[in-house]
Amino acid sequence: MDDKTAQLAKILQESDNIVFFGGAGVSTASGIPDFRSSDGLYSQKLGRNFTPEQLVSHSFFMRYPDDFFDFYKKNLVYPDAEPNDCHIALAKLEEMGRLKAVITQNIDGLHQAAGSKTVYELHGSVLRNYCTKCHSFYDADFILAAKGIPLCPKCHGVIKPDVVLYEEGLDEDVITGAIQAISEADTLIIGGTSLVVYPAAGLIDYFHGRHLVLINKSSTPADSKADLVINDSIDKVMREALSSLQS
């Protein structure tokens, strides 16, 4: 274990109100790529290129639902993904009473699968899907099994994933809970995010605690504000820090 990971372990030991704020880099070790790493994707049917952001926008969902679900099912739903060492370490920290909340930009549900109880999903979850007409609930398996546009068997309405698409606002209750958790934390760990997606990235401005830790493979706009910056794989860092804490 290197000096910076040892420093993180010491911070974890000293803290009893930790909040974790994470992004796509948290789940890459589980085999879920950051879809923004894709360049423009060509739609043969529509005869033009689209960015990944355009393909998961509200207007694209409304205008081209067939193409939306084709991209969505291939690129955003990973039913076989399992929690990695970062997810597991965070769940254990919560079990120990040190970590009070996880705030995630991810939509994969892996924090809950690892055992985390208090999770604020800023961008929703692929595991929840609702009919746009009658609001009946459907799981991810239903969406994946559907041919083309998933339709509600009860009313034939289009079923929409409970994810926040581009051009849509974040859930107010989720935002309120996340802000409260961050504002009360003594330690905020930001991991696996480049902090460029707003308004989610702006939430860290509510932190006024003792220790700000940044764990990301590349630099972020908040590095200069942090007490500790670790440029490494977050699953490895969290596994080693937790192991040191437990020994």
Q: What are 85-131's pLDDT values in tens digits?
A: 999 999 999 999 999 999 999 999 999 999 999 999 999 999 999 99
Q: What is the DSSP string of 85-119?
A: HHHHHHHHHHHTT-EEEEEES--S-HHHHHT--SE
Choosing from 87, 111, 123, 211, the catalytic residue is 123
- On the question of pLDDT at 65 being above 90, the answer is yes
- 157: which DSSP letter? P
- On the question of pLDDT at 42 being above 60, the answer is no
pLDDT at 169: 94
* 111 annotated active-site: no
Report which of residues 160 and 54 the model is more confident about: 160
In the 3-class helix/strand/coil scheme, how is 192-235 assigned residue by residue? Answer: CCCCCCCCHHHHHHHCCCCEEEEECCCCCCCHHHCCEEECCCHH
